[in-house]
Every structure is written in C-alpha cells, then in structure tokens.
Amino acid sequence: MDYSLYRPASARSGDLVLLGHGFMRDRERMTGLAESLAETGLTVAALDFCNARPWDGGHVQNGFDMMALADALGARRRVYAGFSAGALAALVAGRNDPRALGVVALDLVDADGVGRLMARGMDRPLIGLFGEPSACNARGNGLAVYAAAPDASVQRIAGANHCDFESPTDWVCRLVCGSPSADGARRDAVLRATTEAIRSLTAGAAG
C-alpha cells in the first residue's frame, strides 16, 4: 500500500500514529494533521486505503491494513486515528491490535453496525471528536458508537461541518458537505484537539 511517513528527529523510538482518510479520499487529506503531530515529536504514517469501492467501504479490511502497516514499520506502541470512514477503520484496528494505546476518531461514520460492534469489545480508550449532524456524517451516527464503548470520551467542535475535519479539504468535500469555516478557526480547533488527544494517549502509556 502507499503511505507517507513523517518522522521527526526527536521521535520516541517504537511509537507510531497511523492516520486513515475518509471514504473515497486519500492520504493527502490528512497532511495537515500529520504535520501537526510530527511537530510535537510523534512519528506518523498516513496511508491510502486499497479496499474501498463506491458500493463497499471495505472498512474491516482497511483496519487490518492499518495494523499490517504498523507491523511492517516495527511499531511497538500504536495510536490509530482517522476521519469519517477512516475513523471506523481506525476503530477496527484499535480494537484488534494488542499493541494499540487507543483510538482517536474524527467525525466517525458507522456502517452496518461495525463501529458499535467494535466499540463493545474495546478495552482501550476511544476518544471522539464530532461536528454538527449532517448527511455527510450520517446525522451523527458515530455518537452511538461512543455510547457503546466502555472507555470513551467525546468532544464536540461547535459549528464544525464534516470538511473541517480534513486538513486540507478540497472542493469535492465543500460541494458535497458544505464549506468549512472561512477563517479556518474550526479546522484549527480540530487540529489542536486531535493533537492533544493523541498526545494524551502516548503520554498516559509512558507514565
């Protein structure tokens, strides 16, 4: 699979954050978040999913592909994160990978109950950031996923639409889901909150 690796000189050996993009998108939509995390000293791998088709997201296999990439890169401690359908794949990976520290989900969209099934068996932290309900996030159906998890915390980004959780977004997302905040304030809030959430998982495990 294709992926981009962000490895700062100050990174702790063996730690890895894996980022999954949204449905029918690509890893370039996660660049801003990957760079934000790398600036704090975390090694990040953003990958392109291979299994999604317009009629089938391939979410479970995408999750196992995230695990396979973490294994190939020799990561000993992993945080899985993703946006929309990529958040669902990250949840699959975090639920099934014994080396996972937890999962950070950005405006997660569930499909066929996969998210709720994974969440019920999750024995690690699940942190969710979500925006306003809309057609693009299935009217906020990810909230039911967090409710099913034994150890979940959620943070609402007030006024954020689905595109605010991509960095950068593009005209395709704006056309389908509406324009994000013109000044980028909500996107910046998402980046800060996501970075803090992922750092809390790695710091908590280190402590």
Q: Name residue 85's beta-bridge partners.
A: none
Percent of the chain with pLDDT over 70: 94
The tens digit of pLDDT for each residue in 121-169 reads: 899 999 999 999 999 999 999 999 999 999 999 999 998 999 999 989 8
Q: Where are the domains of the chain?
A: 3-206
Residue 32 confidence (pLDDT) above 90: yes
pLDDT at 74 over 50: yes
Instruction: Specify the pLDDT at position 207.
Output: 47
Owner of token pair 């990561």: 75
Sign of CA dihedral 100, 75, 21, 68: negative
Q: Please say if the pLDDT value at position 58 is more than 90.
A: no
pLDDT score at 138? 93
β-pairing verdict for 100-106 and 152-156? unpaired
The total of other beta-carbon atoms located within 10 Å of residue 88's CB is 30
If we measure between CA atoms, which residue out of 127, 58, 68 comes closest to residue 93?
68
The secondary structure of residue 53, as a DSSP letter, is B
Q: Is the pLDDT of residue 55 over 60?
A: no
Q: Tell me which of 49-58, 138-147, 174-183, 186-195 is least confident.
A: 49-58
Does residue 188 sit in helix, strand or coil? Answer: helix
> What homologous superfamily is domain 3-206 in, according to CATH?
Alpha/Beta hydrolase fold, catalytic domain (3.40.50.1820)
Residue 54: pLDDT band by 50, 70, 90 thresholds? low
DSSP classification of residue 50:
S
DSSP, collapsed to helix, strand or coil, labels residue 167 as coil
